[in-house]
Every structure is written in structure tokens, then in C-alpha cells.
Amino acid sequence: MLVQEHVPLAEFTTFNVGGPARFFARAVAESDVLQALEFVASRHLPLFVLGGGSNLVVSDHGFSGLVLKIDLRGITSEAAGQNWIFEAGAGEDWDNFVSYTVDRNYAGLECLSGIPGTVGGTPVQNVGAYGQDVSQTVECVAAIEIASGRKRFFSNADCEFAYRTSVFNTSARDRYIVLAVRYLLRHNGAPTISYRDLAHFFAGRPAPSLLETRNAVREIRHSKAMLITPGEEDCRSAGSFFKNPIVDRPTADSVLQFAEQRGLSLTTYPAGGELVKLPAAWLVEQSGFAKGFTAGKVGISRRHSLAIVNRGGATASDIITLKNQIQRAVFDRFGIVLRPEPVFVGFENEV
């Protein structure tokens, strides 16, 4: 394992911001991960595990420890009754992996097309979009415990999946490094066309194939600047910056009343029991941050009001300032706290 020093991190993130890593290494094999753990333990250094950098904000000061870039690759498959299990290394590009399964006519991941990042990040965040999330298909996650170096296998239940969360970013946060993920997929299965945007896209058409569904998802994501496209300013972002808040019924009713009084359309979603999921994008827009909003070198995407973008030359501090302004405005108007989706690296205080 080669350890480099003072490596700029901005180029490893879709935001294109952030200072240098004091130490930097790539893991192309499980043994590299173990060497990295020995390296930080012997020097009493903090460790940050880097995947695709698509859900990340790195401090302008960088990171004082070792940044370990996970480049574990490889895809294998095996039969599992009427279904099929695909295993992918944590460093595999996620969208390429989705394409690999769709091209072979396996259903379960098609609506997750176009999401940037790597396979290893998907169970951590319980990545989801357009009516699917990985909790529906993850069969097993292989990971190394940082403290002991022991390898452990997590079943779907062990992962404790919930909306955009798992055991890996809650109770076991920073305790494990994902090595590989196994997904249970359906051969010749029908695509999932439950999300409103997809249903509208295919309205009046024959039942779409998995490939047609994948292409539609990518087209929709591109229309919202949520598909990483080199050269497009609105793509210098971390995607959706805020999670859709889940609130109690009285809070939801208050927001619905706000919309009704102003003749605005608002779609809410049941979230179990008396809980309701509200669209964060709508809350952001109604709090004064419309698509295309600009504040110096940062702003809101012209095509997606949930994406904070680097308009060119922005710093991490600029991004945090706009994030705080949006959160404060939404809370002042609706009494709702928006929770960020990205991971924040190298910040001394909570952000």
C-alpha cells in the first residue's frame, strides 16, 4: 500500500471543494485495508474512508489523518432459488454496476440508475430514488471492523435500514469499512414504475423494459441536473443536499394549510403510523430559495432546488454558509429542521 502526503481532496469530490489529506492511500485489496488500519493505529491518526466522493463536503482545511480511497473491484453472480445474487466490490462505480445487472435483465436496481458514487456507499446511506432503495435488495454486506480488523457479514436485518440510514451511519457510525455488497435480484422481473415522475414518463405507453426504465431514470435525473455530466455547472454538487423531513400529523397539516391558503400544490407521503414525509424541495422553495438562486460562488441548481451547487471557485465555507441560511429560513417559516444528506469531513464543529 502506497501512502502519499498532502494530497488535495477536491478532485475526489463532485462538489470540487476541500483541502488536502495529511496522508492518502488507495485500497485495491482487503490486505490494503488492514495495512491502513495498522498505519493509523501506530500513529494515532484519524481515518476517513472515501468512496465516490458524491455525497461529501470536505473542509477547506482538509483532513488531518489518513484518507483511504476504497478501490476494491470485481463483480460475481450466483443463483439463489428463483432469484440471483450479484456481489460487487465496494469500489465499483454504482451506475456501471446497475447497468451490468439491467443489461442481463435482472430487476431490482433499475430505478437507482444515474446515482453517482460507488457500491460501498449504497448500504451506508440506504440509497434510494424513484420508488426503490437498496434495502429492498441488499442480501449481505461484508465489512471490516476498524477497531479489531475482523471481517463481519451483515444480513439485511443486521443493516437496520430506515429512510436514508443504516447501522453504518447511525449506531455503528465510523466502526466499519464496507468491502463488498451482495444484492438479491429478480431475473426477468418487471421494472418498478411507482414513482410519479416515472409513471408520468411512461403514461400511455406499453409496459417498459428494464433498460427503458433505466434510460428514463437517467433522462429524468439529467433534466434535474442530478446526473453527473462533465462541464455542467449545476452538476458540481452533492446531489440532494437535504433529506425529505418526516414529521408528525399536526406539523404536516400546518404545512398543508400554508399551501392551501396560497393556492399552492403540495404532495405528501405516508411514512408509517401518524408520520408524514414532506418534500424538502418544496419547503426550500417556499422559504425563499428558488431554482437558480445565487449567493456569490454558490447557489441552488437551476433545475433542482435541493441541490446546492458550486458555481465556480467556491469554498466549503461558502457551501456551509448557504446550507445554514436555508435551514434557518425553513425552520423560521415552518418550524421544521432540515437534515443534510452529505457527510462532512474535517470540520471541527457540527455543521
Which positions are annotated as active-site residues?
A: 164, 240, 341
CA separation, residue 109 to residues 56, 91, 95 (Å): 23, 17, 10
- Distance (Å, rounded) from C-alpha 3 to C-alpha 24? 6
Closest Cα to residue 98, out of 114, 84, 79? 114
Q: What are phi and psi of 14, to 5 degrees?
A: -75, -20
- Distance (Å, rounded) from C-alpha 300 to C-alpha 158? 37
Closest Cα to residue 293, out of 317, 312, 314, 311? 311
In SS3 terms, 178-205 reads as EEEEEEEEEECCCCCCCCHHHHHHCCCC
- Distance (Å, rounded) from C-alpha 296 to C-alpha 293? 10
**Which strand (E) or helix (H) includes residue 121?**
helix 121-125
CB 245 within 8 A of CB 306: no
In SS3 terms, 82-108 reads as CEEEEEEECCCEHHHHHHHHHHCCEEC
